[in-house]
Amino acid sequence: MNGRTAQSVLREVFGYSSFRGFQREVIDHVAAGGDALVLMPTGGGKSVCYQIPALLRRGVGVVVSPLIALMADQVAALRELGVRAAFLNSTLPPRQAAAVEAAMRRGELDLVYLAPERLLAERCQRLLDECQIALFAIDEAHCVSQWGHDFRPEYGQLAVLRERWPDVPRIALTATADVPTRREIVERLLVDARMFVASFDRPNIRYRIVEKREPREQLLRFISEEHPGEAGIVYALARHTVEEVARFLVAHGIAAAAYHAGMDAAARTENQRLFKAEEGRVIVATIAFGMGIDKPDVRFVAHLDMPKSIEGYFQETGRAGRDGAAADAWMTYGLADVVQQRRLIEMSEADDAYKRLSMAKLDAMLGLAEAADCRRVRLLAYFGEASAPCGNCDNCLSPPQVRDASDDARKLLSCIYRCRQAGGFGFAATHVIDVLRGRLTDKVQRFGHDRLSTFGVGADVPEADWRLLLRQLVAQHLVEVDHQRFNVLRLAEASRAVLRGERRVELRHRPVTVRGKSRPAKGTTAAALDPAAAELFDRLRAWRGQVARSRGVPAYVVLHDSTLQAIAQARPPSIEALRSIPGLGERRLANYGAQLLALVSG
């Protein structure tokens, strides 16, 4: 590959015209033999940071990755671009492994993917001694951190790379690493490394958090109105919810399947395979699903239940829109989420310090869910990044109305207090709101709560608003919910300040729901295509599906959605014009150019 520049490789092999962010700097640094640590969010474009230097340097680039399940697809995608790539892991039959090793010795490979345990074996190290190595790329480098949740002991031993092959540059890459983890990666794996830290913003993801009313119906509406026929992930907390929701979606004509740790392993694997291999499928899953899912064309991630931390929310929503095209992160959220997550923490067997930490993380997540200002600003601030309102979240697109609800809050708090005084160990939300609204239910009459001074004082406020207010009071620790006793409500210490008029309470209303139709273009989306383009896009997808099936690879390995959308919009009339479509490198132009032109003109 001599005589080539980083720019020409990007253009000819990958089909992109310009580098993103600091890709260029990383590539120059590593190609020149330096060590680097690269932090970029999922979908940020880490891969070319090691793939291009591997192509520019002599010898084979050795990529260490713990995600064995992904290697075959990664290699298929590279071969699709004309890159000589292979993998070595336990899933490969011995004869094929021997063939890969022979190709490495002959210098016939540009890139080889290895599992860390294999790399640590003496046999494999001897093999590498016999090869010319262009670089070592250590993917998911945060696995080296003993304190992280993905710790892998083999990663700690990868220090052998710099000892045994001191002259080979190393590049460590990850999408999740706080400052201590970054330090650990550098200390354990690298030498004089340059650190490249990208913004964690995912501008193509639109964040929305909606009031939870009838979550299944809301979800169905969201999918059928905004993402018909598109791939998405739906997360729910409980296994039975996962199964119910998957059945419900299927009953309404959506190609959905379930995934959770309690399922039969074969069924689970098959559902995951279908999700990956076929287009437009929805997977309903617990958070057991996701590690190592790098399907680039996931158009939405929906949460039916709130995650327990912002890290979790960011990681899960980050599985949407890796290809850079517009994607949705959509969540339903209600009082039950607050109660349930607090309960899970309180009932866990962890020690007090851990419970306090978990509670603080949950509170940060609640702050995000309750926010009236830009969600992205809050998300990024949580990761230490300052930013300005984004214009691509629900709060930016349709700012909630905020009104002073201190009076109503006092009514609600007093009502909780009076009911409890008058009725033993207290009452849950529904009853308290009935009393406030002056409804003469059986229960109200039975307890004589129609004689309370707070009976009917809130008749002018709709029930939904009372629920909203109550949720906000619970989220702010002004009201406690006793989940061991039928979710009865209790005033928390801090509520006194509200009752005494020393603390203001605001109520946030969302005037209209934000729908996908009115979205401004932040990356193209199938829904934003004009009818003629949409028709062409459908034909291109159908063609791509055939190609993928006949070749036994996932559709996105053939061509990405974003590439098809760009073709559908631009209708390029010639090979020259096709060349300017992002994602069409020389190999793909040679393989598919004529067919694409025929589809465009046909």
**What is the binding site for ligand ADP (CB under 6 A)?**
16, 19-20, 23, 40, 42-48, 296, 322-324, 560, 582
Single out the segment in contact with Zn ion by CB under 5 A; choices: 387-395, 434-442, 504-512, 517-525: 387-395
Nearest CA-CA partner of 69 in 287, 242, 295, 256? 295
Single out the segment in contact with Zn ion by CB under 5 A; choices: 53-61, 100-108, 371-379, 552-560: 371-379
**61 contact, one of ligand ADP, Zn ion, none, CB 5-8 Å limit per kind:** none
Which of 38, 429 has the CB closer to ligand ADP? 38
Q: Pick from 254, 393, 507, 514 the residue near Zn ion by CB under 5 A.
A: 393
Q: Give the DSSP letter string of 566-589.
A: HHHHH---SHHHHTTSTT--HHHH
**315 contact, one of Zn ion, ligand ADP, none, CB 5-8 Å limit per kind:** none
Shortest Cβ distance from residue 48 to ligand ADP (Å)?
A: 5
Which of 296, 307 has the CB closer to ligand ADP? 296
Q: Does residue 376 belong to the site contacting Zn ion (CB under 5 A)?
A: yes
Single out the segment in contact with Zn ion by CB under 5 A; choices: 78-86, 184-192, 382-390, 440-448: 382-390
Distances (CA, A) of 465 to 78, 83, 339, 459, 460: 54, 59, 18, 11, 10
Q: Pick from 390, 436, 444, 584 the residue near Zn ion by CB under 5 A.
A: 390
Q: Give the DSSP letter string of 174-239.
A: ES---HHHHHHHHHHH-SS-EEEE-----TTEEEEEEE-SSHHHHHHHHHHHH-TT--EEEE-SSH
Residues 394 to 413: which contact Zn ion by CB under 5 A?
396
Report d(CA 70, CA 392) in Å as an integer: 31
Which of 281, 378 has the CB closer to Zn ion? 378
Shortest Cβ distance from residue 367 to Zn ion (Å)?
A: 15
Which of 205, 284 has the CB closer to Zn ion? 205
Q: Does residue 366 belong to the site contacting Zn ion (CB under 5 A)?
A: no
For residues 392 and 376, the answer to whether their CB atoms sit within 8 Å is: yes
Report d(CA 144, CA 162) in Å as an integer: 15
Q: Does residue 209 belong to the site contacting Zn ion (CB under 5 A)?
A: no
Nearest CA-CA partner of 417 in 337, 486, 479, 506? 479
Nearest CA-CA partner of 319 in 247, 242, 226, 231? 231
Which of 392, 565 has the CB closer to Zn ion? 392
Q: Does residue 310 belong to the site contacting Zn ion (CB under 5 A)?
A: no
**390 contact, one of Zn ion, ligand ADP, none, CB 5-8 Å limit per kind:** Zn ion
Q: Which two tokens stand for residue 55?
A: 């192509």
Which of 307, 583 has the CB closer to ligand ADP? 583
Shortest Cβ distance from residue 45 to ligand ADP (Å)?
A: 3
Q: Pick from 26, 223, 374, 488 the residue near Zn ion by CB under 5 A.
A: 374
**454 contact, one of Zn ion, ligand ADP, none, CB 5-8 Å limit per kind:** none
Burial 466-491, CB ≥16 within 10 A → b, else e? bbbbbbbbbbbebbbbeeeeebbbeb
Single out the segment in contact with Zn ion by CB under 5 A; choices: 210-218, 374-382, 415-423, 495-503: 374-382
Amino acid at 134: A
For residues 235 and 338, the answer to whether their CB atoms sit within 8 Å is: no
Q: Which two tokens stand for residue 359?
A: 């509670």
Single out the segment in contact with Zn ion by CB under 5 A; choices: 224-232, 391-399, 548-556, 582-590: 391-399
For residues 52 and 20, the answer to whether their CB atoms sit within 8 Å is: no
Shortest Cβ distance from residue 410 to ligand ADP (Å)?
A: 50
Single out the segment in contact with Zn ion by CB under 5 A; choices: 383-391, 403-411, 430-438, 584-592: 383-391
Burial 98-129, CB ≥16 within 10 A → b, else e? eebbebbeeeebbbbbbbbbbbbeeebeebbe
Q: Does residue 589 belong to the site contacting Zn ion (CB under 5 A)?
A: no
Report d(CA 338, CA 317) in Å as an integer: 19
**16 contact, one of Zn ion, ligand ADP, none, CB 5-8 Å limit per kind:** ligand ADP
Which of 44, 66 has the CB closer to ligand ADP? 44
Nearest CA-CA partner of 341 in 364, 322, 323, 316? 364
**396 contact, one of Zn ion, ligand ADP, none, CB 5-8 Å limit per kind:** Zn ion
The angle formed by the CA atoms of residues 346, 351 and 357, to the nearest 5 degrees, is 70
Q: Which two tokens stand for residue 15?
A: 């089909």
Shortest Cβ distance from residue 330 to Zn ion (Å)?
A: 14
Shortest Cβ distance from residue 268 to ligand ADP (Å)?
A: 24
Report d(CA 562, CA 537) in Å as an integer: 10
Shortest Cβ distance from residue 503 to ligand ADP (Å)?
A: 44
Catalog residues that contact Zn ion under the rule CB under 5 A: 374, 376, 390, 393, 396
